[in-house]
Amino acid sequence: MNVTDTELEGVKIIEPRVFGDARGYFFESWNEKNFRDAGIDCRWVQDNESKSRAGVLRGLHYQAAPYTQAKLVRVIEGAVLDVALDIRRGSPTFGKHVAVELSAENKRQLFVPRGFAHGFVVLSDEVIFVYKCDNAYMPSHERGIAFDDPALGIDWRIDRSRTILSEKDRKNPLFKDAELFDYAKKEYLK
């Protein structure tokens, strides 16, 4: 597999080796040793899958301590623009984001460590999105940030009028008003 570090500390793009022939293809989406060798050493406790239609935007989501989560995300049908946002006050890349197109075709994965908000928008007619989490979902600790906060400068590559949001995501606070992490205290790692 090919692992590319992004400008955000810990956020990595993973491109697996895909073996294809007339029957189809095969690749390893997770191999503990290979990922550990690449600096991703997580004990996954939960796998999630969502199906969404064109224009659906989910995010920007994260969980407060002590239920912070690292995620390994990928697409098995369709395509998304996937975004990781550094929400660690004091981090050299605080408030910056990376955006990566993930698709069934390119088979890329994105590793989003603890201390980052995460979201995606569906670029295809439909998408099936799957991800691993290293901590359980805890509704009482769920947090969000407004995806369209101008201070973030995220180009979601979709017309705002076509964006479909959950009621919860419509109410997410601006970045400046969100409950964030302290980089120096490493509280997002607890």
- Return d(Cα 28, Cα 35) in angstroms, integer: 11
End-to-end CA distance of the chain: 29
User: Rounded to the nearest 10 degrees, how much is the dihedral formed by the CA atoms of 58, 62, 68, 72?
Assistant: 40
**CB of 109 closer than 8 Å to CB of 73:** yes
H/E run at residue 182:
strand 181-182
**CB of 143 closer than 8 Å to CB of 63:** yes
97 among known catalytic residues: no
The dihedral of CA 176, 179, 134, 10: what is its sign? positive
Catalytic, out of 61, 62, 67, 118: 61
Q: Say which DSSP state 10 is in.
A: T
Catalytic, out of 62, 67, 131, 188: 131
CA distances from 35 to 71, 89, 132, 189 (A): 13, 27, 13, 19
- Return d(Cα 30, Cα 21) in angstroms, integer: 21
Residues annotated as catalytic (active site), given as ranges: 61, 131
